[in-house]
């Protein structure tokens, strides 16, 4: 299959592919998603095949408006009304109980709930409206690999496996959406993102946060809950900014090229290292979140790199989401002076 690259003014053609049961990747403000008509089970099954994704992993349903969600759910509580008013379109995914047979089990992972999102990207909102039906949209990458923040990332993983990708340039946030479960007694964040726990509590009051690691035999209620995820080929080590000199010395002792993924302030101390082995996360948690996945993918293009030292940030605000993704990409591995 030849994978077409659609420009934002070619949405009629992109929607036609979706209507025909094909897969088209689409841009959002977080990462690129892999789109299929959510009401076409045959098309949805192709998503799992293209990604190599476990079939028990539920898919997020992307909608153009709140009214579409209400067609499918058994209940749309006051908390959902408040959250959609505050954060949609935006980086918040909401899990709600479904009406019987609203979607196929392929979409829901066999659960009686579904996750809905209204993305903050006008091109994709127009694509969904053009199709006239909601679209599923897991990240448009090979399962377990870093999520795509550029159309080029999508093509690297999925060229020849999908009908097309709508190229709208780099994504803005760079980390997948926050997922909140409203089907439980207490609203619970299952995956942190740019919409923080504090943001949500300011709207609906106290909530829980459940970042537990899903066991091999457990069905995750939201994407990205598996133990190791977002992983490049090289082994990533979470590294404190103050430990980079010691970590680099240890990495050199391993005798193989290594890469740095850090802020400009940290990288300034390593000007002697080849530029290809120094990937900038910018100068803040905002830019670090935007560039984390891009940096991990950069080192996948350098097969000689076996170790990546990636900078940690405080787990507060957006840093909670950043550290959640970094820890999973590292398989929880951290450089510590005492152990290395």
Q: Is 271 annotated as a binding residue?
A: no
My answer on whether 18 and 73 are in the same domain is yes
My answer on whether 178 and 248 are in the same domain is no
Q: Which residues are within 8 A (CB) of 177 and not within 5 positions of it... i.e. 6 or more apart?
A: 30, 60, 90, 91, 92, 93, 117, 191, 193, 194, 195
Q: Order of strands, edge to edge, in the sheet holding 258-262?
A: 235-239, 307-311, 258-262, 278-280
Give me the domain span that covers residue 182: 4-209
Question: Over the stretch 233-272, which tens digit does the pLDDT of each residue have?
Answer: 999 999 999 999 999 999 999 998 999 999 999 999 999 9
Query: What percentage of the chain has pLDDT greater than the value 70?
Result: 94
Model confidence at 215: pLDDT above 80: no
Residue 338 included in any domain: no
Question: Over the stretch 105-123, which tens digit does the pLDDT of each residue have?
Answer: 999 999 999 999 999 999 9
H helix or E strand, kind and range, residue 259:
strand 258-262
Residue 216 included in any domain: no
Q: Is 297 annotated as a binding residue?
A: no
Q: What is the pLDDT of residue 108?
A: 93
Q: Is 53 annotated as a binding residue?
A: yes
My answer on whether 45 and 103 are in the same domain is yes
Question: Over the stretch 50-95, which tens digit does the pLDDT of each residue have?
Answer: 998 777 678 999 999 999 999 999 999 999 999 999 999 999 999 9
Number of domains in the chain: 2
My answer on whether 65 and 199 are in the same domain is yes
Cα distance between the two ends of the chain: 47
Residue 264 included in any domain: yes
| pTM check: above 0.85 | yes
Q: What is the pLDDT of residue 213?
A: 55
Q: What is the pLDDT of residue 340?
A: 75
Q: Is 62 annotated as a binding residue?
A: yes
Residue 219 included in any domain: no
| pLDDT classification of 224: cutoffs 50, 70, 90 | low
My answer on whether 139 and 252 are in the same domain is no
DSSP per-residue letters across 82-141: HHHHHH-SSSEEEEEEBPTTSS-HHHHTT-SEEEEE--S-HHHHHHHHHHTS-EE--BSS
My answer on whether 277 and 182 are in the same domain is no
> By the 8 A CB rule, do 257 and 305 touch?
yes
Of residues 256 and 323, more confidence is placed in 323
CATH number of the domain bearing residue 93:
3.90.870.10
Q: Is 117 annotated as a binding residue?
A: yes
My answer on whether 321 and 175 are in the same domain is no
User: What is the sign of the dihedral through the CA atoms of 60, 61, 64 and 67?
Assistant: negative
My answer on whether 81 and 192 are in the same domain is yes
Q: Is 120 annotated as a binding residue?
A: no
My answer on whether 166 and 281 are in the same domain is no
Residue 336 included in any domain: no
Residue 337 included in any domain: no
- The Cα–Cα gap between 25 and 43 comes to 13
Tokens of 217: 């035999």
My answer on whether 201 and 239 are in the same domain is no
Q: Which residues pair with 92 in a beta bridge?
A: 178
Residue 223 included in any domain: no
My answer on whether 172 and 309 are in the same domain is no
Residue 191 included in any domain: yes
Q: Is 30 annotated as a binding residue?
A: yes
My answer on whether 244 and 203 are in the same domain is no
CATH number of the domain bearing residue 290:
3.40.50.11030
Q: Is 284 annotated as a binding residue?
A: no
Q: Is 183 annotated as a binding residue?
A: no
Model confidence at 197: pLDDT above 90: yes
* Mean pLDDT of all residues belonging to the chain: 94
Q: What is the pLDDT of residue 337?
A: 82
């Amino acid at each position: 299959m030849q994978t077409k690259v659609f420009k934002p003014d070619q949405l009629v053609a992109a929607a036609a592919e979706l209507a025909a049961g094909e897969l088209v990747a689409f841009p959002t403000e977080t990462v690129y998603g892999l789109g299929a008509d959510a009401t076409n089970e045959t098309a949805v099954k192709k998503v799992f095949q293209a990604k190599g994704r476990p079939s028990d992993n539920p898919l997020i349903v992307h909608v153009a408006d709140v009214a579409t969600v209400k067609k499918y759910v058994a209940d749309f509580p006051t908390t959902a009304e408040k959250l959609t008013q505050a954060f949609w379109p935006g980086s918040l995914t909401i899990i709600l109980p479904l009406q019987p047979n609203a979607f196929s089990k392929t979409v829901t992972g066999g659960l009686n709930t579904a996750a809905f999102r209204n993305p903050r990207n006008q091109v994709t909102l127009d694509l969904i409206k053009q199709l006239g039906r909601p679209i599923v949209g897991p990240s448009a990458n090979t399962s377990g690999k870093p999520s795509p923040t550029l159309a080029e990332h999508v093509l690297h993983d999925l060229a020849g496996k999908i009908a097309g990708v709508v190229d709208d340039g780099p994504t803005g946030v760079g980390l997948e959406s926050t997922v909140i479960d409203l089907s439980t007694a207490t609203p619970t964040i299952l995956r942190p993102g740019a919409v923080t726990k504090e943001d949500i509590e300011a709207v609906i009051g106290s909530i829980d946060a459940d970042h537990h690691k899903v066991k091999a035999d457990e069905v995750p209620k939201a994407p990205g809950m598996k133990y190791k995820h977002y992983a490049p080929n090289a082994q990533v080590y979470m590294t404190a900014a103050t430990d980079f000199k010691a970590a680099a010395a240890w990495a050199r002792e391993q005798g193989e090229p290594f890469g740095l993924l850090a802020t400009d302030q940290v990288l300034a101390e390593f000007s002697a290292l080849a530029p290809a082995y120094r990937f900038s996360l910018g100068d803040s948690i905002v830019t670090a979140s935007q560039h984390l996945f891009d940096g991990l993918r950069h080192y996948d293009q350098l097969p000689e790199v076996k170790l990546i030292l990636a900078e940690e940030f405080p787990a507060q605000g957006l840093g909670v989401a950043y550290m959640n993704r970094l820890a999973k990409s590292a398989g929880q591995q951290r450089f510590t002076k005492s152990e290395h």
